[in-house]
Structure 1
Amino acid sequence: MSVASHPTSAHFERDARQMHDDKPLSPGSIAIGVIIGRMSEFFDFFVYGLASVLVFPRLIFSFAADPVTATLYSFAVFSLAFLARPIGSLVFMWVDRTYGRGMKLTIALFILGGSTASMAFLPGYESIGVWAVALLALFRLGQGFALGGAWDGMASLLALNAPKSERGWWAMVPQLGAPIGFALASALFGYFYTSLSDADFLSWGWRYPFFVAFAINVVALFARLRIVASREFGELFENHELSPSPVLETLRVHGRDVLLGAFAPLASFAMFHLVTIFPLTWVFLRGGQSAGEFLFVQILGAFVGIGSVVISGAIADRIGRRRQLMIGAVLIAIFSFSAPFLLEAGGKGQDAFIILGFAILGLSFGQASGAVSSRFSLRYRYTGSALTSDLAWLVGAGFAPLVALGLASKFGIIFIGGYLISGAICTFAALTLSRILDSSEHQSAAER
Structure 2
Amino acid sequence: MANVTNYGPSSTSMERDARQIHADKPVAPNSIAIGVVIGRTSEFFDFFVYGLASVLVFPQLVFPFAPDRLTATLYSFAIFSLAFMARPVGSVVFMTIDRLYGRGTKLTIALFLLGGSTASIAFLPGYNEIGVWSIALLALFRLGQGFALGGAWDGLASLLALNAPQSQRGWYAMIPQLGAPIGFALASLLFGYFVANLSSEDFLSWGWRYPFFVAFAINVVALFARLRLVMTKEFGTALEQHELEAAPIRDVVRIHGRDILIGAFVPLASFAMFHLVTIFPLGWMSLYGNQPIGAFMLVQTVGAMVGVLAIVASGLMADRIGRRGQLAVCAVLIAIFSFVGPIMLGSGSNGHDAFVIIGFGVLGLSFGQATGSISSRFGRGYRYTGAAFTSDLAWLVGAGFAPLVALSLSSRFGLTFVGYYLLSGAICTLAALAFSRALEQRD
What TM-score, normalized by structure 2, do the two folds share?
0.99
- Supply the distance in 2 between the matched residues of 1:157 and 1:268 (Cα, whole angstroms): 23
**3-state SS of paired residue (1:273):** helix
Name the structure 2 match of 1:375. 377
Give deviations 1:198-257, integer Å, cap 9, x for gaps: 000000000000000000000000000000000100000011100111101110000000
1:44-83 matched pairs, under 5 angstroms = 44-83=46-85
- Supply the distance in 2 between the matched residues of 1:3 and 1:403 (Cα, whole angstroms): 51
- Supply the distance in 2 between the matched residues of 1:195 and 1:7 (Cα, whole angstroms): 52
Displacement of 1:3 in angstroms is 3.5
- Supply the distance in 2 between the matched residues of 1:117 and 1:100 (Cα, whole angstroms): 26
Name the structure 1 match of 2:193. 191
1:86 aligns with 2:88: yes
1:34-49 matched pairs, under 5 angstroms = 34-49=36-51
Which letter maps to 1:183?
A
Give deviations 1:345-369, integer Å, cap 9, x for gaps: 1110000001100000000000001
1:205-354 matched pairs, under 5 angstroms = 205-354=207-356
Give deviations 1:352-390, integer Å, cap 9, x for gaps: 001100000000000001314222110111110001100
- Supply the distance in 2 between the matched residues of 1:30 and 1:86 (Cα, whole angstroms): 26
- Supply the distance in 1 between the matched residues of 2:373 and 2:390 (Cα, whole angstroms): 10
Displacement of 1:5 in angstroms is 5.9
- Supply the distance in 2 between the matched residues of 1:11 and 1:278 (Cα, whole angstroms): 47
Displacement of 1:2 in angstroms is 3.7
- Supply the distance in 2 between the matched residues of 1:427 and 1:41 (Cα, whole angstroms): 25
- Supply the distance in 1 between the matched residues of 2:98 and 2:175 (Cα, whole angstroms): 25
**3-state SS of paired residue (1:173):** helix
Q: Is the 8 A contact 2:161 2:172 kept in 1?
A: yes
Displacement of 1:171 in angstroms is 0.1
Displacement of 1:411 in angstroms is 1.0
1:160-175 matched pairs, under 5 angstroms = 160-175=162-177
- Supply the distance in 2 between the matched residues of 1:169 and 1:263 (Cα, whole angstroms): 22
Name the structure 2 match of 1:444. none
- Supply the distance in 1 between the matched residues of 2:7 and 2:208 (Cα, whole angstroms): 49
Q: Is the 8 A contact 2:374 2:391 kept in 1?
A: no
**3-state SS of paired residue (1:424):** helix
Q: Is the 8 A contact 2:242 2:380 kept in 1?
A: yes
- Supply the distance in 1 between the matched residues of 2:7 and 2:413 (Cα, whole angstroms): 60
- Supply the distance in 1 between the matched residues of 2:186 and 2:7 (Cα, whole angstroms): 43
**3-state SS of paired residue (2:147):** helix
**3-state SS of paired residue (2:81):** helix
Name the structure 1 match of 2:181. 179
1:434 aligns with 2:431: no
Q: Which structure 1 residue ranges, 5 or more long, are not aligned?
A: 442-448
Name the structure 1 match of 2:33. 31
Q: Is the 8 A contact 2:7 2:16 kept in 1?
A: no
Query: Of the candidates 138, 157, 160, which is equivalent to residue 159 of structure 2?
Result: 157
Which letter maps to 1:12?
M
Q: Which structure 2 residue ranges, 5 or more long, are not aligned?
A: none
Q: Is the 8 A contact 1:260 1:434 kept in 2?
A: yes
Give deviations 1:19-78, integer Å, cap 9, x for gaps: 110111111000000000000000000000000000000000111010000000000000
- Supply the distance in 2 between the matched residues of 1:288 and 1:8 (Cα, whole angstroms): 53
Displacement of 1:344 in angstroms is 1.0
- Cα root mean square deviation, aligned: 0.8
Q: Is the 8 A contact 1:257 1:375 kept in 2?
A: yes
- Supply the distance in 1 between the matched residues of 2:266 and 2:40 (Cα, whole angstroms): 20
Moved more, 48-57 or 336-345: 336-345
1:401 aligns with 2:379: no
- Supply the distance in 2 between the matched residues of 1:152 and 1:8 (Cα, whole angstroms): 11
Displacement of 1:413 in angstroms is 1.2
Query: Of the candidates 99, 106, 109, which is equivalent to residue 107 of structure 1?
Result: 109
Q: Is the 8 A contact 1:261 1:370 kept in 2?
A: no
Which letter maps to 1:185?
A
- Supply the distance in 1 between the matched residues of 2:70 and 2:32 (Cα, whole angstroms): 44
Name the structure 2 match of 1:410. 412
Displacement of 1:6 in angstroms is 2.1
- Supply the distance in 2 between the matched residues of 1:290 and 1:436 (Cα, whole angstroms): 50
**3-state SS of paired residue (1:172):** helix
- Supply the distance in 1 between the matched residues of 2:85 and 2:159 (Cα, whole angstroms): 27
Q: Is the 8 A contact 2:272 2:422 kept in 1?
A: yes
- Supply the distance in 2 between the matched residues of 1:107 and 1:296 (Cα, whole angstroms): 34
- Supply the distance in 2 between the matched residues of 1:437 and 1:314 (Cα, whole angstroms): 27
Displacement of 1:8 in angstroms is 3.0
Identify if the C-alpha distance between structure 1 residues 5 and 162 changes in structure 2 by more than 3 Å, giving closer, same or farther.
closer
Q: Is the 8 A contact 2:121 2:212 kept in 1?
A: yes
Name the structure 1 match of 2:11. 9
Give deviations 1:126-179, integer Å, cap 9, x for gaps: 000000000000000000000000001110100110001000000000000000
Which letter maps to 1:363?
L
Q: Is the 8 A contact 1:289 1:347 kept in 2?
A: yes
Identical-residue share of aligned pairs (%) = 71
Q: Is the 8 A contact 1:3 1:9 kept in 2?
A: no
